[in-house]
Amino acid sequence: MKRIALLGMPNTGKSTLFNRISGASARVGNWPGITVDLMSAKILIGGHIAELIDLPGIYDLHGFSDDEQVVRHFLANNAVDLVIVLLNSSQIDRQLSLVLQIKKLNLPAVLALNMADEAKQSGITIDTNSLAKDLQMPVMQISAKYGDGLPKAIQAATQIINQNNPASDPQLISKLLEDDNQIEHEMESLIQHHVQIPATLTDNTTDKIDQILLHKWFGLPIFFAAMFVLFQFIFTAGKPLQDGLAWLLALVRSSLLEPLFTSSPAWLHGLMLDGIYNGVATVAAFVPIIVLFFLVMSMVEDSGYLSRAAFLMDALMAKMGLDGRGFVMMLMGFGCNVPALMGTRIMRSRPMRLLTMLVIPLSLCSARLQVFIFMITALFTAKQAPIILFSLYVMSFFTMFLTAVLFQGRYKNSEPFILELPPYRFPTARQIILRGWQEVKHFLIRASKFIVIGVVLVWALTNFPSNVPPASIGTFAGQIGALFAPLLDPLGINNQLAIALIFGFVAKEIVVGALAVIYGLQGDALMAQMATQIDWVQAMSFMLFTLIYTPCLSTIATLKSESKSSAFMWLSIAWSLALAWVVSFIFYQSARWLGY
């Protein structure tokens, strides 16, 4: 099988191109010589099946960041038949160095100059034919986003693949990687001969938008207002969808599943309907909101606004020993903590990476969001709901800042903060949907794996031993709850909620499902039942605890693998549990003391 590697600087559109070529067939794989996972896909090219690998975005083959090492190790350990080098046409004046570095390694390569559309708007013209001659490799301009020029690029790649030349020799590459220089000069002369860049770029839309969004005083307020509006939108637009789905799921149960299981033994009826179906259906009802959430997040992420947020927040973050990128990772954590933790790889200084990884698990991820929406809908009015939710987001930021401030002495660093500011881009509908779909797929796989196992376990714990009433104090669940009662009673967290919390340690997606199983109810009936059992102070205390304590097993596993330290992982677990307890305790006791 042929092997094709996709290589380029960060933000040149590599993922966009990869997704376009590979369709939806991508998978994550392991590679010799490197410890991280890379995306790859099997594609058909010129009668050969080839494996296309998406390498991490790098500035330089000789840099020192983790990603740069990954690429070096990949090339020094795996034979490749073709390297597709992807550059941003508008920034060819500095990105060309990467091509020259690849050329020095004698790797068979084609050069794809992406974002041809933007370059054209800015008035940059590139003579691809003459550049190809000088570089001695095919050069074409493409637009990965809109698909222009892609057939020609694939054709050029096919030609090289069809020549059936021997693949690269990893050993040789590894030797060659050790020395080079003089690329500087070669680059200058190539640019001078083949590229024309106007002194000032003709397209200044980004400048105009920046004047407002990066305004000295209004920038930050606008940013937070924008975030508030987005969350408001997700909530308002998602509610009817969620209600509709819940209604449908209840209908399936009453008119299809109930009749189906009427004649089966009581335990099977209970396990299938009160256990699995109730649990899974309650979680499934949240899928519309999660979908909306990821659609909106991927739009914000693609637009270039996040780098602006890094710019606006850096001064504040610096006071806490973090930097603007840390803030962006915190925002990414609102989607899911796991990719946000992996995103800290762009930081070179270990102390800063650790400090950032310590705060990320405190960001209110979409799985916790689902628990909160459930609790809020059950115990608060529609008017209060957005305010409560927003206050939880504020609380999330607060705990992150607090953690950073407290631990910054331990993790001192001197990492330089340098970041590229891309122009604003509006993602196409196709991009948003593809991206959103990938996230949702991921969510569903993770959720279904944990949830089914989780709810079955909860069901067993709340239904055995079978000689006592389900979910009563006599069941295993009741006993576990009683065990933790001395710790959780002062927080207003009762036995049932305690069980949900324990399972929430595995994944927050289980919490709501577990509640459904514990109460043996689903949808509106479950919410109504909860409202009679706990009051808003208890609910809030429960939500605060859920917000702050360890998010899920995947996050813990990622913490350990990314930090390569069990001690750090345990520190993170212990700190979040302690903080969760203290915050809930203070909240619950002072609310009660104030007479609520």
Ligand X SMILES: Nc1nc2c(ncn2[C@@H]2O[C@H](COP(=O)(O)OP(=O)(O)O)[C@@H](O)[C@H]2O)c(=O)[nH]1
Q: Which is nearer to another protein, 416 or 486 (CB)?
A: 416
Compute CA 257 distance to the chain's CA centroid, rounded to the nearest angstrom: 36
Nearest approach, Cβ of 67 to another protein (angstroms)? 12
Q: Which amino acid is at 509?
A: E
Nearest approach, Cβ of 428 to another protein (angstroms)? 23
Q: Applying CB under 6 A, does 117 fall inside the site for ligand X?
A: yes
Tell me how far apart the alpha carbons of residues 306 and 419 are, in angstroms, rounded to a whole number: 11
Type and span of the H or E element at 40? strand 38-45
Tell me how far apart the alpha carbons of residues 7 and 75 are, in angstroms, rounded to a whole number: 11
Q: Give the binding range for ligand X (CB under 6 A) out of 113-121, 257-265, 370-378, 396-404.
A: 113-121
Q: Applying CB under 6 A, does 95 fall inside the site for ligand X?
A: no
Name which of another protein, ligand X, none residue 302 binds, using a CB cut-off of 5 to 8 Å depending on partner kind. ligand X
Q: Which amino acid is at 182?
A: Q
Q: Which is nearer to another protein, 397 or 424 (CB)?
A: 424
Tell me how far apart the alpha carbons of residues 269 and 260 are, in angstroms, rounded to a whole number: 9
Name which of ligand X, another protein, none residue 63 binds, using a CB cut-off of 5 to 8 Å depending on partner kind. another protein
Contact 41, 25 (CB under 8 A): yes
Nearest approach, Cβ of 390 to another protein (angstroms)? 24
CA angle, corner 191, sides to 186 and 197, nearest 5? 160
The dihedral through the CA atoms of 581, 586, 587, 590 has a sign that is positive
Give contact residues for another protein (rule: CB under 8 A).
9, 59-60, 62-64, 90-91, 93-94, 97, 122, 124, 184, 197, 201, 207, 210, 214, 216-217, 219, 307, 310-312, 314-316, 318, 323-324, 348, 416-423
Best CA proximity match to 411, nearest among 234, 194, 187, 565: 565
Tell me how far apart the alpha carbons of residues 445 and 307 are, in angstroms, rounded to a whole number: 30
Binding mask 46-85 for ligand X (x = CB under 6 A): -----------x----------------------------
Q: Which is nearer to another protein, 104 or 446 (CB)?
A: 104
Q: Residue 493 CB: number of other CB atoms within 10 A?
A: 24
- Tokens 């570089």 belong to residue: 135
Best CA proximity match to 530, nearest among 377, 392, 368, 384: 377
Best CA proximity match to 105, nearest among 172, 55, 24: 172
CB-based contacts of 88, cutoff 8 Å, min separation 6: 9, 11, 12, 13, 95, 113, 114, 115, 118
Nearest approach, Cβ of 426 to ligand X (angstroms)? 8
Q: Applying CB under 6 A, does 118 fall inside the site for ligand X?
A: yes
Q: Is 583 exposed, middle or buried (0-12, 13-18, 19+ CB in 10 A)?
A: buried
Q: Give the binding range for ligand X (CB under 6 A) out of 141-149, 291-299, 501-509, 584-592.
A: 141-149
Name which of ligand X, another protein, none residue 16 binds, using a CB cut-off of 5 to 8 Å depending on partner kind. ligand X
Choosing from 10, 219, 351, 474, the residue that interacts with ligand X (CB under 6 A) is 10
Name which of ligand X, another protein, none residue 421 binds, using a CB cut-off of 5 to 8 Å depending on partner kind. another protein
Nearest approach, Cβ of 435 to ligand X (angstroms)? 9
Which residues, numbered 403-442, are part of the site for ligand X (CB under 6 A)? Answer: 425, 427, 431
Nearest approach, Cβ of 72 to ligand X (angstroms)? 18
Tell me how far apart the alpha carbons of residues 100 and 113 are, in angstroms, rounded to a whole number: 14
Q: Give the binding range for ligand X (CB under 6 A) out of 111-119, 477-485, 506-514, 566-574.
A: 111-119
Measured distance between the N- and C-terminal CA atoms of the chain, rounded to whole angstroms: 69
Nearest approach, Cβ of 369 to ligand X (angstroms)? 24
CB-based contacts of 186, cutoff 8 Å, min separation 6: 100
The angle that helices 366-379 and 287-303 make with each other, rounded to 10 degrees, is 130
SS3 labels along 428-447: CHHHHHHHHHHHHHHHHHHH
Which residues, numbered 294-323, are part of the site for ligand X (CB under 6 A)? Answer: 302
Q: Give the binding range for ligand X (CB under 6 A) out of 6-14, 77-85, 157-165, 282-290.
A: 6-14
Q: Which is nearer to another protein, 183 or 375 (CB)?
A: 183
Nearest approach, Cβ of 339 to ligand X (angstroms)? 13
State the DSSP code for 381: -
Q: Which is nearer to another protein, 112 or 471 (CB)?
A: 112
Q: Which amino acid is at 320?
A: M
Bridge partners of 91, per DSSP, are none
Q: Which is nearer to another protein, 31 or 59 (CB)?
A: 59
Name which of ligand X, another protein, none residue 143 binds, using a CB cut-off of 5 to 8 Å depending on partner kind. ligand X
Name which of another protein, ligand X, none residue 62 binds, using a CB cut-off of 5 to 8 Å depending on partner kind. another protein
Pairing of strands 109-114, 38-45: unpaired
Number of residues that bind ligand X (CB under 6 A): 20
Q: Which is nearer to another protein, 418 or 429 (CB)?
A: 418
Which residues contact ligand X (rule: CB under 6 A)?
A: 8, 10-16, 57, 114-115, 117-118, 143-145, 302, 425, 427, 431
